[in-house]
Amino acid sequence: MSTVLLADQVLTLDAKGTIYTPGAVTFVGTEITAVGPPPERPTGEVVDLRGCVLLPGLVNTHTHTPMWVFRGLTEDVPRGEWLTGRLLPLERRLGPDDLRRSALAGCLELIGNGVTTIADRYGHMDAVATAVEASGLRAVVGHSLFDRSAESDLARSEQLIERLGTDPARARVWAGLAPHATDSCGPELLRRVRRLADRTGARVFIHLAQSESEVAAVLARGAAGCASYLDALGLLAPDVVVAHATYLTDAEADLVGARRTAVAHCPSCNAKLEGRVAPVARMRRAGAVVGLGTDAACCNNGMDLFDEMKVAGLLNKVAADDPAALPALDILRAATSEAARALGIDHLVGTLEPGKRADVIAVRTRGAHLRPWHDPVANLVYAARGSDVTAVFVDGRPLLRDGRLVELDAERILADATQVARELADARG
């Protein structure tokens, strides 16, 4: 049976940027079958979303759902102290079941904000993946790899690949490879990651140049910088997604682009934890594919890609000293079509077109902060909020309707994860 979503407007984000006013999206099962003006006699289930605009579900290229539990525990930390000084002591206190419970709350937050696809990575990914699967989100998940636990991390990564596969066309949740960063992963581990990626087809996700100490550690190994270090190991490539890429020289930013590397740009996290703007304009000019990421809830302090779009626009204009820099459409694409390209899933999602998966969101446009509706793209990037999202479909399955979760029990999930947070806060004193 087909489902027809009727709305005031449909932004397809296709190559031409086609917009239908009013518009409809029709899907059968998991697949979009028609996008255009509302049909005269719609058949099947009709969902009345008038008062809303439809757009592709948002794609979050970098997050850590279990870190939902740390929100508010790592505030205003001096540069260089956040990760090892503040976060690691907290992380050591949590076990796999705590992380699973917290990840489910994180997924709930993401769905409520109109995110339909995430690139998620953390420790104990076997437990976390169970929560992500249960949430209904589309996701690529990777178990973090470190030098200090390389053998067991590699074994767990392979198990995850065996369990979920690496093909986004065959599974809603699939596996990637997630070496932690260029300082915490030496050349031997990264060579093994490259070989494993080549053998399994898994995409690689790594933090790149996210702190000054990371750069110092890589320079001490004799590399010219974090990007050159990865390049020498075959890990600046179109199948690699580097997160942050904050501390790069011009030559290194150009190298990231020249290799057509995908970049997960997390501007609010970079601003809050490092007081910096990553050189994304330069990387894009050089050829990088840039998608937006919220990073974790304790970095910025939430997982709302509408927020992230606005911050991306503002900070990149400031960084360029040019109010015309990074136009709104480029930003909206970095949360939809370009983000999908960064994750290698643009054949499946990121636009509303027949043949693509039915990942669709509806944003209410009736609030005072969204009127008048002269420029839909600018309104979505600079004026809309995650809380304006009223409906979310992934693979045609409704996850959110009338602003409420359809299948998940929000109250129970939030109470459960809040309990983990409370115990954590008590334990640290």
What is the contact surface with Zn ion in residues (CB under 5 A)? 295
Shortest CB 345 distance to Zn ion, Å: 20
Q: Which is nearer to Zn ion, 5 or 303 (CB)?
A: 303
Shortest CB 284 distance to Zn ion, Å: 20
Shortest CB 207 distance to Zn ion, Å: 6
Q: Which of 172, 137, 140, 11 is nearest to 400 (CA)?
A: 137
Shortest CB 306 distance to Zn ion, Å: 20
Write the burial class of residue 69 (CB in 10 Å: 0-12 exposed, 13-18 middle, 19+ buried). buried
Give me the residue whose beta carbon is nearest to Zn ion.
295
Hey, what are 163's tokens? 């369990």
Alpha-carbon distance of 334 to 212, in angstroms, equals 26
Shortest CB 237 distance to Zn ion, Å: 20
Q: Which of 264, 328, 330 is nearest to 299 (CA)?
A: 264
Q: Which is nearer to Zn ion, 98 or 295 (CB)?
A: 295
Q: Which is nearer to Zn ion, 192 or 207 (CB)?
A: 207
200 with 230: CB under 8 angstroms?
no
Q: Which amino acid is at 410?
A: A
Q: Which is nearer to Zn ion, 32 or 227 (CB)?
A: 227
Hey, what are 364's tokens? 């209410």
Hey, what are 57's tokens? 């579900």
Write the burial class of residue 57 (CB in 10 Å: 0-12 exposed, 13-18 middle, 19+ buried). buried
Phi and psi angles of residue 319, each rounded to the nearest 5 degrees, phi first: -60, -35
Q: Which is nearer to Zn ion, 160 or 206 (CB)?
A: 206
Hey, what are 106's tokens? 């994180």
Q: Which is nearer to Zn ion, 82 or 229 (CB)?
A: 82
Q: Which is nearer to Zn ion, 64 or 194 (CB)?
A: 64
Tokens 């902060």: give the residue.
Answer: 369
Hey, what are 350's tokens? 């990121």
Shortest CB 78 distance to Zn ion, Å: 19
Q: Which of 302, 290, 286, 304 is nearest to 333 (CA)?
A: 290
Shortest CB 297 distance to Zn ion, Å: 11
